[in-house]
Structure 1
């Protein structure tokens, strides 16, 4: 399978995982609050459609993976990503076969089983693996990815794309699946996909690395310095209130649970104590957000004084972003 066909197949696989994510969202929306007869009949019809859609998507996913595995083994990086995708696919099928079937006469149980099956697909990790493969191929064969991708408007500033901003914020919740080089490849890929331009350089800053006590307080943020047509941009993304149980770097379930509880506790402690009650003695995350902002702004302005700097954040991250913006603007004025 030539490179162009591999790229096209990966794009189709990414679309399958995107559709699975939408299906999982729809399934959650259909969970009923009551069990009257009319609602039960309507739920049965919706369940049938959702289950049919899931089976179609799962069949397509397995078929595309088999096509890729049969022909993409020459590249060790691609092979490793595809083998992991295959392992997730096999595990999702084994989970369905191992779990006892719900009573098929109960409409709500059928919906619960569908949601469980979709969660077992590990949609987030599978999507990341597929897009990592595409980002890698964009790095080694940008012309072929450009020829295969869906055309769109060329944007002078990637920040003009809402999809780019959403993907940059989402990356803050998925960085456990990336090493530094993969992050650089991936940001370049996002710039191309959403702005249809080639980024010339990417520098990555991580608050957990820059600030030694950031992890202890639960604060997390990243920044990306990007050069595009000799204009430099920096995107500072502040992470919101969300832990994860799916960190592949932590093998033990107990350790993953401990990490999830600790991260969530630190965020909610700040949310309630500092923001809701107004206790300024426990505003460590805000102080660290300002320190990280100062660090990034000074670094990138030394590289290029004309760097355009943006802040991004969702939930708690949005609060930290807004409360750091005033200080960021003062810095940009003060630094020549």
Structure 2
């Protein structure tokens, strides 16, 4: 058993190293965006490929070794419960199958063996390793061993201190990630995984764990797309409740066998989240605020059902961070909380939902401070100080951690958006990353408002969609109609300027490779195809850089964002 545990730990370390290698490869990816910077890729690629070759080989060796050791494992518990050993073998076989499938994958060899293509191929190979599913099955082996008293415990002598887990960055990120990986743990209750996670982080065993899934308690949560799980725990007499809020990014439910049904469910879940994002955060209206209402109901339910004197902590990523901040401002729901790449609070939304939170004078002052009537909206330290003076208190217990150039940061320059508590911004030193998180440097207030209005109209148009196919079809129809309007009005000075400024901002952020030019008034009327005509009139559209979209998404989601958190933040 000791040798098996040693190899399990080594395999887990290999997964961590592959995860870190993936981050390092993405970190180098901006070097591919221009020819001059790409010269630095050759030595970088050599080091990355050397590391990957070793890690990949070691992963295969340890996976095979663990499988053989589990097959040969003998324990007294196996005779008492004949299902334990087959369960362990099943998880080890799944690890073996994932590894074997990866080795059988034929990766497309780049037509040109360029440095850029080599880096792209490396990222594809690392992602094909499926680190999160591998971690999931490895964790299940640990969970089975722990639940059946097969895992030798090394408990520390010091009792648990309140908030110790909350301030553990690995605990927070793994707890948030668990919400996306729950399909891997269908054979187990969430409490089983949490027991192992807690032990692995603090070397103490919880006395009590109970989970609350909002979708099991409130059916309307599924209807509006809201997702949250609360974990009530007691360790050494300390009672805590961790409430996690899920972000917006796509979550493919692998438990659904049909690929088309998985895709349809993913589209529908994303649509519900973006419907809330646009109407409640981007606009600040009440057209779709059901997620916030359910979140309030969920917190009230928890306060009625968890043990008295429990400390309640909020943890949220992206959209989930918005709920942590908003609930704290509205209802003081948490004793403390952390967010990661959080979307902001929209004061207009809160004014609609809870108008008596502030006096009319305070509301008026807050709206004046956060409006953009003067053509600007940037939360400087001075402006943030003025906003805090209007709030009941400073909310220092809420810590908003973010990658400084994360794409959600653009939301904070929209009218009436704020953050509360502390804000810790992370970034890398001497690193070129093109995304511009301050769109106000490129876009006027009128252009920002037009951007808001476009998405408001889009989701109003999509509101009649009953299923994912209609969402996709209606989205394409709406965008096609708006593109036609754009082509018909591009000769107007204001339209041409707006289009150029939007395009220039996207170019400066790396989303276009070629710099846009101000379009001419002469337009192509002969071409019946809207999109082909647009490409001929505006050739820079051909230079759309999908790699930048992928990169921005990677640094936003937990897999990429977590690697910034071991650096020293800039605290606001």
Is the contact made by 2:314 and 2:334 (CA closer than 8 Å) also made in structure 1?
A: no
Partner of residue 214, structure 1: 221
Distance 2:124 2:279 in 1: 35
Distance 1:153 1:56 in 2: 39
Moved more, 101-110 or 112-121: 101-110
Distance 1:275 1:169 in 2: 22
Structure number with higher relative contact order (C-alpha < 8 Å, ≥ 6 residues apart) = 1
- Asked whether 1:33 is paired with 2:41, we answer no
Is the contact made by 1:154 and 1:196 (CA closer than 8 Å) also made in structure 2?
A: no
- Asked whether 1:80 is paired with 2:117, we answer no
Partner of residue 302, structure 2: 296
Corresponding residue to 1:119 among 127, 149, 152: 127
Unaligned runs of 5+ in 1: none
Partner of residue 4, structure 1: 2
Report the alpha carbon displacement of residue 180 of structure 1 after superposing the two structures with TM.
7.0
* Cα RMSD (Å): 2.3
- Asked whether 1:273 is paired with 2:273, we answer no
Distance 1:14 1:175 in 2: 19
Is the contact made by 2:191 and 2:210 (CA closer than 8 Å) also made in structure 1?
A: yes
Report the alpha carbon displacement of residue 329 of structure 1 after superposing the two structures with TM.
4.3
Is the contact made by 1:4 and 1:145 (CA closer than 8 Å) also made in structure 2?
A: no
Report the alpha carbon displacement of residue 325 of structure 1 after superposing the two structures with TM.
3.1
- Asked whether 1:198 is paired with 2:205, we answer yes
Partner of residue 230, structure 1: 237
Residues 223-251 of structure 1 show CA distances to partners (whole Å, capped at 9, x for unaligned) of 11111113321111011111223x32011
TM-score (norm 1): 0.88
TM-score (norm 2): 0.53
Report the alpha carbon displacement of residue 65 of structure 1 after superposing the two structures with TM.
0.9
SS in 2 for 1:52: helix
Partner of residue 13, structure 1: 11
More helix by share: 1
Unaligned runs of 5+ in 2: 74-84, 336-572
Report the alpha carbon displacement of residue 68 of structure 1 after superposing the two structures with TM.
1.0
Alignment of 1:1-336 (within 5 A): 3-31=1-29, 32-36=32-36, 39-73=37-71, 74=73, 75-95=85-105, 98-103=106-111, 105-141=113-149, 144-146=152-154, 155-157=160-162, 158-179=165-186, 181-245=188-252, 247-300=253-306, 304-325=307-328, 329=332
SS in 1 for 2:244: strand
Distance 2:239 2:38 in 1: 56
- Number of residue pairs aligned between Structure 1 and Structure 2: 319
Indicate how the Cα distance of structure 1 residues 306 and 57 shifts in structure 2: closer, same or farther if over 3 A, else same: same
Is the contact made by 1:7 and 1:137 (CA closer than 8 Å) also made in structure 2?
A: no
SS in 2 for 1:222: strand
Is the contact made by 2:245 and 2:320 (CA closer than 8 Å) also made in structure 1?
A: yes
Is the contact made by 1:152 and 1:196 (CA closer than 8 Å) also made in structure 2?
A: no
Residues 44-70 of structure 1 show CA distances to partners (whole Å, capped at 9, x for unaligned) of 111111111111111111111111111
Is the contact made by 1:188 and 1:199 (CA closer than 8 Å) also made in structure 2?
A: yes
Distance 2:51 2:247 in 1: 32
SS in 1 for 2:180: coil
Indicate how the Cα distance of structure 1 residues 8 and 328 shifts in structure 2: closer, same or farther if over 3 A, else same: farther
Report the alpha carbon displacement of residue 13 of structure 1 after superposing the two structures with TM.
0.8
